[in-house]
Amino acid sequence: MTRLGLQERDIVPRNIGERLEDARKYRASKRMAYEEGFEEFAKTSIPVVLNGRPFKAHRNINLYIDMTSACDADCDFCIAKVNFTRNAKPIDPLWVREALDICAPANPSIQITGGEPTLFPAKLRDIINIVGHKKPRRPVINTNGRRLADVIDLLIDGPVEHVNISRHHYNDSVNARIMRTKSIDSETLGKCTRLIRGKTRIQCNLLGGEIDTYGEVMQFLAYCYHKLSARNIVFALLTPLPKDSFYAPSIIKCVQESPVDADVILRRIEDDSRFVFEKYRGGVACYYEVWKYMSYEEPMTVIFKYSDNYWLEKADADDLLLPDLVLHTDGTLSGSWCKDRKIIAKLQGY
């Protein structure tokens, strides 16, 4: 009997489990993990009708609230760099209410993202209040953390379950260079993360020349534990992106020029007795491994995530399949990260 805590499924997925020897097989062939994840998605997706249109939704579907394109950083690898127009003005909170109502049959979890949501604390407050009233599954906010202090009161006792903070180096000046922003002071950030300690997740992209080795990963873990009081860390490989799609050429180029061999890092972790393997999982376009780092008084959850957006493009090619739901900055609610695909509703004017 698995202890993974997943929802009941119609099929037993092959690409999920708790045995390290099985994880090695998928680590060696991520394509196999993606293929099986896509197959599972297609077989177990739930028939839903959204705004009068029939779809087949992922059982654990997310509704992403793309709150704004405005950001006080300019990361080369930002997945939001696309070739269609996004609006810097924050979305109307009423659109969020309408989107939640329309998407309710799919029972989505919620992620508030951007851009940088904390640039507009008043609008963010309205959106979080709506989320608190509607009570969707597992509300999450994504932020770079620079203005976290401006909204910390919304997060301490509010409905947001996790605060995903993008941080790509333990050194403030190096992190600022990577993110092309003013320095995000670790002392100030740490004061905030300690207030929302149980909600904090640190998201670090593995980048060639930066956090790209076992030693750098270990230093980053120590930084997160001691400076940020964070116990949940995700190390992500940059996502390969289809060339003939809606992504800006600059981010495709960045992904190609910043390779990291995370498999080498994971082999070192396997040999480190302070790490305990927990589980592996393949999804629609991702594969990840979950480990526990036991060296400190409190254990840390450490995740290594691989992904490939070729598989999201494959889902986009099917008019019925919904891996994600996205409320775009112009009020378009769609079943794709491209606002012109799988349009469910145009919420302007609501």
Residue 275 in 3-state DSSP? Answer: strand
Beta bridge partners of 281: 16, 288
Question: Which tens digits make up the pLDDT trace of 45-70?
Answer: 999 999 999 999 999 999 999 999 99
The owner of tokens 């957006």 is: 309
- For residue 173, pLDDT over 90 is answered with yes
pLDDT of residue 2: 38
Query: Could you tell me which residue, 228 or 245, shows the higher pLDDT?
Result: 228
- For residue 243, pLDDT over 90 is answered with no
CA–CA separation, 136 vs 62, rounded Å?
10
Is 231 in contact with 301 (CB distance < 8 Å)? Answer: yes
pLDDT of residue 349: 55
- For residue 246, pLDDT over 50 is answered with yes
pLDDT of residue 183: 85
Task: Output the DSSP codes for 192-239.
Answer: HHHHTGGGEEEEEEE-TTSS-SHHHHHHHHHHHHHHS---EEEEEEPP
- For residue 11, pLDDT over 80 is answered with no
- For residue 71, pLDDT over 80 is answered with yes
CA–CA separation, 61 vs 227, rounded Å?
33
Share of the chain above pLDDT 70, in %: 96
pTM of the model: 0.93
Q: How many residues does the chain have?
A: 350
- For residue 12, pLDDT over 60 is answered with no
Section 277-281 average pLDDT? 96
Section 129-150 average pLDDT? 95
Domains of the chain (ranges, CATH numbers) = 16-346 (3.20.20.70)
The residues near 273 (Cβ < 8 Å, ≥ 6 apart) are none
Question: Which tens digits make up the pLDDT trace of 110-137?
Answer: 999 999 999 999 999 999 999 999 999 9
pLDDT of residue 13: 63
Is 75 in contact with 180 (CB distance < 8 Å)? Answer: yes
Question: Which tens digits make up the pLDDT trace of 321-349?
Answer: 999 999 999 999 999 999 999 999 999 75
Peptide bond into 209 cis (omega under 30): no
Is 65 in contact with 91 (CB distance < 8 Å)? Answer: yes
- For residue 5, pLDDT over 60 is answered with no
